[in-house]
Amino acid sequence: MIENLVLSELEKRKAIEIDAAPDGIPLIYQDLNESIHEAIREGYDRIVLNNVCGQRFIAASLQGDLELIINGLPGNDLGIFMDGPKIIVNGNCEDHAGNTMNDGAIMVDGDGGDVIGLSARGGKIYVKADVGYRVGIHIKEYENKYPVLIFGGIARDFLGEYMAGGLIIALGLKFLPDGSIIENEQSICGGELGTGIHRGKIILRTEEDLEPKLGVGAKLFEIAPNTRKEIEPFLREFCEIFNIPYEMIGKKPFKVIKPISKRPFGGNYCGQIV
């Protein structure tokens, strides 16, 4: 449970609890989202959803200073098009969390599914443990919009595919059921790492040789001191939220994956124009 995160703000907020499975039967997602909208209209800004069971599109397009606490398993497209609210998930989440998110935060105290944060344009997605395939596909940045995706565990293939900005960090830790934290022995990422990346950075905390895993257009670098400094506040925040000792982070080096070009496939389609 990541309740301590919000203790300071807790008193200020007007809270309501919604049961997403009254009488043991899960609501359909339209009804659940309607009851969230109703609570917002009534002026509640801290909404606790209990017994969530795979309902999709939770917090779709919500705006403003809201806080959703989800106890259970939110379904696909959690926080899709969201602009501002903070979502705390006590448990795992399914695929496509943070789809095209504009601003706000999603904190998942468990595993994430595939395609987390696809096309995110801003905000933060923090997942405590592992994530699946195609995570951070085509996330992008613009002026002060800067999406940050951090995972405590490992990711699979196609991490940061067609990435157009922002920051992805994977830490390669393993969280045992008894609460202890150890280094994950599995490879920190799958193949095709950063295929088609043309802006932004993927930062992986690992000693393994990532060279054979790089996708088209991605290049491996050692971390520069100013980059390390840049990511420090995000890492500290992540460790604080999920109770990870910060000293643990420093035990392995970081590696950076950056684009070789701003237009890796430019020549494929309109080479003569460029």
Q: Distance between CA 61 and CA 78 in Å, rounded?
A: 10
The full DSSP string for 127-178 is: ESS---SSTTTT-B-BTTB--EEEESS---SSTTTT-EEEEEEE--EEE-TT
The answer to whether 75 contacts another protein (rule: CB under 8 A) is yes
The piece of 58-66, 69-77, 145-153, 266-274 that touches another protein (CB under 8 A) is: 69-77
Chain residues 125-184 in contact with another protein, contact rule CB under 8 A: 130, 132-134, 156-158
| Minimum CB distance to another protein smaller for 33 or for 66 | 33
Closest distance to another protein from the beta carbon of 111 (Å): 7
CB of 70 to another protein, least distance (A): 12
Question: Residue 168, class by beta-carbon neighbours within 10 Å (0-12 exposed, 13-18 middle, 19+ buried)?
Answer: buried
Q: Does 53 bind another protein (CB under 8 A)?
A: yes
Q: Work out which of 33, 76, 119, 184 binds another protein, going by CB under 8 A.
A: 76
Spatial separation of the C-alpha atoms in residues 93 and 181, rounded to whole Å: 20
Residue whose CB is less far from another protein, 27 or 120: 27
CA distances (Å), origin 91, targets 49, 77, 180, 232, 269: 12, 16, 17, 26, 44
Q: Do residues 38 and 16 touch, judged by C-beta distance below 8 A?
A: no
Region of 7-15, 22-30, 116-124, 196-204 interacting with another protein (CB under 8 A): 22-30
Residues of the shown chain interacting with another protein in the complex, contacts defined by CB under 8 A: 21, 24, 26, 28-29, 51, 53-54, 56, 72-73, 75-76, 92, 94-95, 111, 113-114, 130, 132-134, 156-158, 186, 191, 212
